[in-house]
Structure 1
Amino acid sequence: MIIQSNFFVTNFEKRDSFKRVVLAKPTATSETIMENLVKNFIPLLKWNRQHNLHFKIPLVAAATVFPNAANAAANLQPNDFVGISFWLISMALMASTVFFLWETQGVTAKWKTSLTVSALVTLIAAVHYFYMRDVWVATGETPTVYRYIDWLLTVPLLMIEFYLILRAIGAASAGIFWRLLVGTLVMLIAGFLGEVGHISVTVGFVIGMLGWFYILYEIFLGEAGKAAKHQASDSVKFAYNLMRWIVTVGWAIYPLGYVLGYMMGAVDDASLNLVYNLADVVNKIAFGLLIWYAATSESQDAKG
């Protein structure tokens, strides 16, 4: 795929409208992953949209990030299971990004946004995982506060997915969007402030839990839950139900980690990072796959 993508990029550079996009030289640092992403992938995405060349986006994404990731693996030790988990999850997230972007070709217009947002979630998480892996290898620790940078971007996008799939079937209101967004931000900001010491650890935990419970109420018993129950097709209802159980069960690991790892100090950083890494497989990748299932099923039905 990288060879193919370099071929496409080489041909792109021959076009006058694309001369501004130049591939950066791969290096071994995480900072260059984000730098190359900004320099290459985002301009390519814009140019791709203008020229209606959807099939090239995943290849370009691979060319932009994978070489840097491969170089970054040089310091990985065979007995560093946490570092290995960072690496495996990073590659799984990048592979998911390519997959979701590729699959936007096969769905109807109203589902493209949902799949694109899923790709953004996994792409953002992958870049952060590369960075956290470097920090872990260099220092032997990755403070949870680093994860909040990821969560503050990806978790609101995950919650907005509930709104987007309901909007795709004509069952969403602006109120659903704002309630989910506000609940998510309250949960995350309270946890962050408690963890960095700006407010009491207990106060941060309580407020964060209230934000989480507010989200659960909305997606189970609130307007969003009622819309999914009464207006969604079988495929959308199936995806929606599993998505909200991911938010219920899959997300429970985070407050448990907050209590056991931060409030009580009963879990070491290595174990906590390993559990968080495995949890992200379900909470980000599986979540996106459910969106993909609903999008492809609905699109196939629409095409007859």
Structure 2
Amino acid sequence: MDSNPYKRRNKITKATLGILAVTLLFGTQTVSAEATALATNDWVGISFWIATAMMLAFTVFFLVERQNVPDKWKTSMTVAALVTGVAWYHYTYMREVWAMGDGSPLVYRYIDWLVTVPLQVVEFYLILAAIGVGTFVMFRNLMGASIVMLVAGFFGESGAMDGTLELSSTVWWFIGMLGWGYILYELWSGDVKEAAASGSPGVQFAFKSMRIIVTFGWAIYPLGYLMGAGTIGGMGTDDMNILYNVADLVNKGAFGMMIWYAAKHDE
């Protein structure tokens, strides 16, 4: 075993840079297929491009900083990088769909959410598992509730089940809200909250900060759903996409930043 910590750190740094290089190469091949002009007054398109760039920036930051936090936080930092990295990949497609005039990239967006949102919810389990109080039941229930929330949202917005289940978009919205409501219950009153109370100051900071984001940051999504459905007067698909893009930036980026901040102050 190499006893020189500098050499070990150097090897890890090179591995991280290698991962970043492969990611950037893959991403460049993805987004360079076709250059699309963006109008100066296309605020929806601008929000897509800003979100794409910021997701990549967050991913690079989380991967690099993963080497600078205690071991018990490394998995959480890896998942934070996965969340923004997967989002960046999907945003490279979503922005092109919009810029080429093909409408709202609903399918790409929900594919992204079906990967990234459960990962975010699992972060609560990971920070608790790191201190030995996370359980499989917590993992299962949080993951299941997030999937119910997302699948209901997709069926409601896309109408994919209209020929099978005759449920209105409002009913699907309500089902999705039940999934989110269960997550909030666990974070504010359930077993997850009780388990977090035994954590270190760093764990409690991360838990409380992430809980605030899930409570208030995620409230933007049902609002966007109603905008897209035309329920809120004077607002439609354009407003929905801007709102979703801003929400993704805040909820994915800030989520990871709270974990990083807690990890740095839990050394």
TM-score, normalization by structure 2: 0.86
- Residues 42-92 of structure 1 deviation map (CA, whole Å, 9 limit, x = unaligned): xxxxxx99x983343234433432475467555222222211111111010
CA distance in 2, matches of 1:65, 1:52: 20
What one-letter code is carried by the residue in structure 2 that aligns with 1:191? G
2:227–2:236 contact (8 Å) kept in structure 1: no
2:97–2:105 contact (8 Å) kept in structure 1: no
| The one of 243, 253, 261 aligned to 1:293 | 261
Q: Secondary structure at the match of 1:170?
A: coil
- Matched with 1:256 is 223
CA distance in 2, matches of 1:208, 1:237: 28
CA distance in 1, matches of 2:14, 2:115: 27
| The one of 224, 231, 234 aligned to 2:201 | 234
Query: Percent same amino acid at aligned positions?
Result: 50
- Matched with 2:109 is 147
CA distance in 2, matches of 1:134, 1:282: 22
| The one of 190, 200, 213 aligned to 1:246 | 213
Q: Which runs of 5+ in 1 are unaligned?
A: 1-47
Give the length in aligned residue pairs: 250
Distance 1:52 1:178, change over 3 A: farther
My pick for the range that moved more, 189-198 or 209-218, is: 189-198
- Matched with 1:177 is 139
Residue 58 (1) aligns with residue 20 (2): yes
1:62–1:98 contact (8 Å) kept in structure 2: no
Q: Larger RCO: Structure 1 or Structure 2 (Cα < 8 Å, ≥ 6 residues apart)?
A: 2
Q: Which runs of 5+ in 2 are unaligned?
A: 1-10, 162-166
CA distance in 2, matches of 1:113, 1:254: 27
Q: Secondary structure at the match of 1:139?
A: coil
TM-superposed CA distance for 1:265, in Å, is: 6.2
- Matched with 1:77 is 39
What one-letter code is carried by the residue in structure 1 that aligns with 2:241? N
Distance 1:79 1:215, change over 3 A: same
CA distance in 1, matches of 2:26, 2:110: 25
Residue 209 (1) aligns with residue 187 (2): no
Residue 273 (1) aligns with residue 257 (2): no
| The one of 91, 94, 110 aligned to 2:53 | 91
- Matched with 1:27 is none
What one-letter code is carried by the residue in structure 1 that aligns with 2:196? A
TM-superposed CA distance for 1:261, in Å, is: 2.2
Q: CA RMSD in A?
A: 2.2
My pick for the range that moved more, 289-298 or 261-270, is: 261-270
My pick for the range that moved more, 63-72 or 246-255, is: 63-72
TM-superposed CA distance for 1:140, in Å, is: 5.7
CA distance in 2, matches of 1:289, 1:177: 22
